[in-house]
Amino acid sequence: MDTVKRTKIKDLLASEPGKTVRAKGWVRTKRGNKQVKFIALNDGSTINNIQIVADATLFDEELLKRVTTGASLNVLGELVPSIGSGQAVEIQAKEIEIYGDCDPMRFPLQKKDTSLEYLRSVAHMRLRTNTFGAVLRIRHAMAFAIHKFFNDKGFVYLNTPLITESDAEGAGDMFQVTTLDLKNIQLDKKGNVDFSRDFFGKKTSLTVSGQLEGELGATAVGEIYTFGPTFRAENSNTPRHLAEFWMIEPEMAFYDINDDMELAEEFVKYLVQYALDNCMDDLQFLNDKYDDGLIERLRSVLGISFERVTYTRAVEILEEAIANGKQFEFPVHWGTDFQSEHERYLVEQYFKKPVILIDFPKDIKAFYMKQNEDGRTVRGMDVLFPKIGEIIGGSEREASLEKLEQRIDELGMSRKNLEWYIDTRRYGTVPHSGFGLGFERLLLFVTGMANIRDVIPFPRTPKNAEF
């Protein structure tokens, strides 16, 4: 009997009854009476628990007392048809071993407070809850689907560096990487920090985007994507920003902005479809617990085409809305960057579907975007989603050496530090495009969670980097 190997609960629940099985997991709940105990056991393989039925006459009373919420068990028993548990099968226990007790008075995951705010304060334990189990499984499924999508299209997965000298987005919100002794900084003659003494001999930071290196890959092997951690030291404590997040950045030679938009739309629809096809148990749980419009909203983006709108037209729409009494916290006029309230108005109230904004004023976008003929806009695109706002940012890239250099100069950036990048335009330049999808923004949409801290296992936000 001892040789019966463990089967995961997901597989047990799909098995035919009539055999001896072993389940291992953590107790979710225990109920019953003097004669019989019903234990809901979960091992993380599925949102669903398996019911363990323990006949009290077969077990030591002390042992059954120790079966508390959170305790970990090794159970051997007979898989039998279930009458009442809501599942087809349950386990009639023959042997119960307690791997680890769980003191009900001290266990941080009590029934009394399961709010997401509270769970963030016990983030090291929250992964054991149904909610975070569901989120983690969906997160994994989406990561797998991302690799599958690009692999099936022949894209090459390119690993770009996390430590870099360049500031791709020109935003300046970077985390510095240094081995200099902060208590004893050497200054040069001008009073600046002497980075020649630093580990890399230069000032370095954590990357805000792998795009520039991605372009080197795309202009060599045609189509690449990156999928890795990304760091931004912007001090914005919002439900949509993390200091450490994951970004997927495809970059494609010979794609213009229209090809770029088509790929972005196909990509997110593929991911949503994949979630609906493969994560229904978890989606249903999140739908029932937090957001009863979730599954409906996921289905709603599949059947329709995303609306393509120029920035200039969007400004008109927002100005009309304001003229008709709509109030926004932040002002709008041609040349301003939209706030998420503006993005959400366009998506949720005006178009009532995902929107792709194009042709932005060049002054609110990065130096590498292809300049339009009008001299004042660039061929950028932002994909906006309901409840979230921007989920993707991308563009066709400036392929002309002359225009790129001129823009770098205009912005007062250093050409010297970018020579390696500019070489792509010097030697066999090609039209090319790409975009970045924020992985956690995608997960906000797919899980229906409202706060980005709840879709990453270990969130990093201002003043928060514990474990």
Closest to ligand 4AD by CB, 174 or 391:
391
Closest distance of CB 393 from Mg ion, Å: 3
CA separation for the pair 453, 175 (Å, rounded): 20
Closest to ligand 4AD by CB, 26 or 246:
246
Binding string, residues 222-241; x marks residues near ligand 4AD by CB under 6 A: ----------x--------x
Amino acid at 6: R
Closest distance of CB 104 from ligand 4AD, Å: 37
Pull the structure tokens for residue 145.
């689907």
Binding string, residues 388-427; x marks residues near Mg ion by CB under 5 A: -----x----------------------------------
Q: Does 79 bind ligand 4AD (CB under 6 A)?
A: no
Which 352-391 positions form the footprint of ligand 4AD (CB under 6 A)? Answer: 390-391
Which 167-196 positions form the footprint of ligand 4AD (CB under 6 A)? Answer: 168-169
Pull the structure tokens for residue 232.
């931004």
Closest to ligand 4AD by CB, 241 or 342:
241
Interface stretch with ligand 4AD, choices 94-102, 289-297, 330-338, 433-441 (CB under 6 A): 433-441
Closest to ligand 4AD by CB, 440 or 454:
440
Q: State the number of binding residues for ligand 4AD (CB under 6 A).
A: 22
Among candidates 249, 348, 256, 337, which has minimal Cα distance to 293? 348
Closest distance of CB 390 from Mg ion, Å: 6
CA separation for the pair 232, 243 (Å, rounded): 5
Alpha carbon 228 to its chain centroid, in Å, reads 11
Which 390-429 positions form the footprint of ligand 4AD (CB under 6 A)? Answer: 390-395
Which 133-152 positions form the footprint of ligand 4AD (CB under 6 A)? Answer: none
Q: Does 435 bind ligand 4AD (CB under 6 A)?
A: yes
> Residue 386: what are its φ and ψ, rounded to 5°?
-60, 145
Interface stretch with ligand 4AD, choices 183-191, 263-271, 322-330, 436-444 (CB under 6 A): 436-444
Q: State the number of binding residues for Mg ion (CB under 5 A).
A: 1
Q: Does 436 bind Mg ion (CB under 5 A)?
A: no
Binding string, residues 202-221; x marks residues near ligand 4AD by CB under 6 A: -------x-x----------
Closest distance of CB 435 from Mg ion, Å: 10
Closest distance of CB 306 from ligand 4AD, Å: 14
Closest to Mg ion by CB, 63 or 364:
364
- Residue number, nearest CB to Mg ion: 393
Closest to ligand 4AD by CB, 59 or 270:
270
Which residues bind to ligand 4AD, rule: CB under 6 A? 168-169, 209, 211, 232, 241-242, 245, 247, 249, 390-395, 434-436, 438, 440-441
Which residues bind to Mg ion, rule: CB under 5 A? 393
